[in-house]
Amino acid sequence: MATTATTNATGTVTEKRKPVFKKVDQLKPGTSGHTLTVKVVSSKLVKVGNKGTGRSSAMLMNRSSQPTRISECLVGDETGTILFTARNDQVDIMTPETTVILRNAKIDMFKGTMRLAVDKWGRVEVTEPAKFEVKEDNNLSLVEYELVNVDN
Protein backbone atom coordinates (compact mmCIF):
# COMPACT_ATOMS: atom_id res chain seq x y z
CA MET A 1 0.00 0.00 0.00
CA ALA A 2 1.64 3.24 -1.13
CA THR A 3 1.52 6.25 1.16
CA THR A 4 2.41 9.91 0.89
CA ALA A 5 3.73 12.06 3.72
CA THR A 6 2.17 15.41 4.65
CA THR A 7 2.90 17.91 7.39
CA ASN A 8 -0.06 19.14 9.45
CA ALA A 9 -0.50 22.41 11.39
CA THR A 10 1.39 21.13 14.45
CA GLY A 11 4.43 20.26 12.36
CA THR A 12 4.07 16.50 12.67
CA VAL A 13 4.37 14.32 9.60
CA THR A 14 1.38 12.08 8.86
CA GLU A 15 1.10 9.30 6.31
CA LYS A 16 -1.88 9.31 3.94
CA ARG A 17 -3.16 5.86 3.07
CA LYS A 18 -4.41 4.82 -0.34
CA PRO A 19 -8.18 4.30 -0.32
CA VAL A 20 -9.50 0.77 -0.01
CA PHE A 21 -12.31 0.37 -2.53
CA LYS A 22 -15.28 -1.72 -1.39
CA LYS A 23 -17.91 -3.54 -3.41
CA VAL A 24 -21.63 -2.92 -2.96
CA ASP A 25 -22.28 -6.41 -1.54
CA GLN A 26 -19.80 -5.70 1.31
CA LEU A 27 -21.90 -2.83 2.73
CA LYS A 28 -23.54 -3.40 6.12
CA PRO A 29 -26.05 -1.32 8.16
CA GLY A 30 -24.63 1.43 10.36
CA THR A 31 -21.20 1.54 8.73
CA SER A 32 -19.33 4.52 7.29
CA GLY A 33 -16.09 5.57 5.65
CA HIS A 34 -16.67 3.57 2.47
CA THR A 35 -15.00 4.31 -0.87
CA LEU A 36 -16.78 2.80 -3.87
CA THR A 37 -16.74 3.02 -7.65
CA VAL A 38 -20.32 2.67 -8.89
CA LYS A 39 -22.37 3.24 -12.01
CA VAL A 40 -25.65 5.20 -11.82
CA VAL A 41 -28.52 3.01 -13.09
CA SER A 42 -31.38 5.46 -12.54
CA SER A 43 -32.11 8.76 -10.80
CA LYS A 44 -35.43 10.14 -9.56
CA LEU A 45 -35.95 13.57 -7.99
CA VAL A 46 -38.05 13.01 -4.86
CA LYS A 47 -38.00 16.39 -3.12
CA VAL A 48 -37.50 20.02 -3.96
CA GLY A 49 -38.02 22.09 -0.85
CA ASN A 50 -37.03 25.28 0.88
CA LYS A 51 -33.87 25.06 2.99
CA GLY A 52 -35.36 27.51 5.44
CA THR A 53 -38.25 25.45 6.76
CA GLY A 54 -38.10 25.22 10.52
CA ARG A 55 -35.16 27.61 10.96
CA SER A 56 -34.97 31.03 12.56
CA SER A 57 -34.78 34.14 10.38
CA ALA A 58 -31.27 34.91 11.69
CA MET A 59 -30.04 31.59 10.33
CA LEU A 60 -31.82 32.21 7.03
CA MET A 61 -29.93 35.44 6.45
CA ASN A 62 -26.60 33.56 6.50
CA ARG A 63 -27.74 30.86 4.05
CA SER A 64 -28.29 30.96 0.32
CA SER A 65 -31.90 30.84 -0.79
CA GLN A 66 -31.47 27.83 -3.07
CA PRO A 67 -34.04 25.10 -2.49
CA THR A 68 -33.01 21.73 -1.11
CA ARG A 69 -33.06 19.02 -3.77
CA ILE A 70 -33.07 15.32 -2.93
CA SER A 71 -32.84 12.54 -5.48
CA GLU A 72 -32.91 8.77 -5.04
CA CYS A 73 -30.43 7.11 -7.37
CA LEU A 74 -30.00 3.40 -7.95
CA VAL A 75 -26.24 2.80 -8.12
CA GLY A 76 -24.28 -0.41 -8.36
CA ASP A 77 -21.32 -2.46 -9.45
CA GLU A 78 -20.76 -6.05 -10.57
CA THR A 79 -21.83 -7.38 -7.13
CA GLY A 80 -25.14 -5.57 -6.59
CA THR A 81 -27.09 -2.31 -6.33
CA ILE A 82 -28.19 0.06 -3.57
CA LEU A 83 -30.18 3.29 -3.37
CA PHE A 84 -28.03 6.41 -3.03
CA THR A 85 -29.55 9.58 -1.57
CA ALA A 86 -28.15 12.53 -3.54
CA ARG A 87 -28.51 16.02 -2.06
CA ASN A 88 -28.28 19.44 -3.74
CA ASP A 89 -25.17 19.59 -6.00
CA GLN A 90 -24.89 15.80 -5.98
CA VAL A 91 -28.23 15.61 -7.86
CA ASP A 92 -26.64 17.18 -10.95
CA ILE A 93 -23.76 14.68 -10.93
CA MET A 94 -25.87 11.54 -10.52
CA THR A 95 -27.22 11.07 -14.06
CA PRO A 96 -27.92 7.60 -15.50
CA GLU A 97 -24.94 5.76 -17.06
CA THR A 98 -22.43 8.00 -15.21
CA THR A 99 -19.63 6.27 -13.31
CA VAL A 100 -18.77 7.94 -9.99
CA ILE A 101 -16.40 7.43 -7.07
CA LEU A 102 -18.10 7.86 -3.69
CA ARG A 103 -15.59 8.80 -0.99
CA ASN A 104 -16.35 8.59 2.74
CA ALA A 105 -19.84 7.23 2.05
CA LYS A 106 -22.04 6.01 4.89
CA ILE A 107 -25.01 3.72 5.27
CA ASP A 108 -28.17 5.40 6.56
CA MET A 109 -31.22 3.38 7.56
CA PHE A 110 -34.57 4.53 6.15
CA LYS A 111 -37.72 2.60 7.08
CA GLY A 112 -35.59 -0.45 7.91
CA THR A 113 -33.67 -0.47 4.62
CA MET A 114 -30.12 0.60 3.74
CA ARG A 115 -29.45 3.81 1.83
CA LEU A 116 -26.02 5.01 0.76
CA ALA A 117 -25.21 8.70 1.33
CA VAL A 118 -22.28 11.10 1.15
CA ASP A 119 -22.43 14.03 3.58
CA LYS A 120 -20.32 17.21 3.75
CA TRP A 121 -17.26 15.21 4.87
CA GLY A 122 -17.35 12.99 1.79
CA ARG A 123 -17.04 13.51 -1.93
CA VAL A 124 -18.77 12.46 -5.16
CA GLU A 125 -16.46 12.46 -8.19
CA VAL A 126 -17.22 11.62 -11.82
CA THR A 127 -14.66 9.19 -13.24
CA GLU A 128 -14.04 7.40 -16.54
CA PRO A 129 -16.76 4.92 -17.57
CA ALA A 130 -16.53 1.58 -15.77
CA LYS A 131 -16.00 -1.64 -17.66
CA PHE A 132 -18.28 -3.71 -15.41
CA GLU A 133 -21.95 -4.57 -15.91
CA VAL A 134 -24.19 -3.66 -12.97
CA LYS A 135 -25.77 -6.69 -11.25
CA GLU A 136 -29.32 -5.37 -10.88
CA ASP A 137 -30.85 -8.51 -9.36
CA ASN A 138 -29.03 -8.02 -6.01
CA ASN A 139 -30.57 -4.79 -4.64
CA LEU A 140 -29.41 -4.32 -1.02
CA SER A 141 -32.04 -1.61 -0.47
CA LEU A 142 -34.81 -4.20 -0.82
CA VAL A 143 -33.56 -6.12 2.24
CA GLU A 144 -35.51 -5.01 5.31
CA TYR A 145 -33.72 -4.98 8.67
CA GLU A 146 -35.27 -5.01 12.12
CA LEU A 147 -33.66 -3.64 15.28
CA VAL A 148 -33.72 -6.34 17.95
CA ASN A 149 -32.96 -5.67 21.62
CA VAL A 150 -31.24 -8.56 23.37
CA ASP A 151 -31.81 -8.93 27.12
CA ASN A 152 -28.93 -10.38 29.14
Is the CB of residue 82 less than 8 Å from the CB of residue 76?
A: yes
What is this structure's pTM?
0.77
pLDDT at 72 over 90: yes
Considering only 30-34, 78-82, 92-96, 144-148, which range has the smallest mean pLDDT? 144-148
User: Residue 4 — pLDDT band, cuts 50, 70, 90?
Assistant: low
> Mean pLDDT throughout 112-123?
92
Percent of the chain that is helix, strand, coil (3-state, to 5): 10, 45, 45
pLDDT at residue 57, rounded to an integer: 46
Percent over 70 (pLDDT), the chain: 84
- Listed in sequence order, the residues at least 6 apart from 57 whose beta carbon sits closer than 8 Å to its beta carbon are none
> Mean pLDDT throughout 98-107?
94
User: E strands along 50-152, which residues?
Assistant: 68-77, 80-87, 99-110, 113-117, 123-126
Instruction: Please state, rounded to an integer, the average pLDDT across all residues of the chain.
Output: 84
Q: Quick check: helix, strand or coil at residue 61? A: helix
- Domains along the chain with CATH numbers: 19-142 (2.40.50.140)
pLDDT at residue 16, rounded to an integer: 76
Summarised one tens digit per residue, pLDDT across range 15-50 is 777 888 999 999 999 899 999 999 999 999 888 887
pLDDT at residue 54, rounded to an integer: 52
> Mean pLDDT throughout 1-19?
68
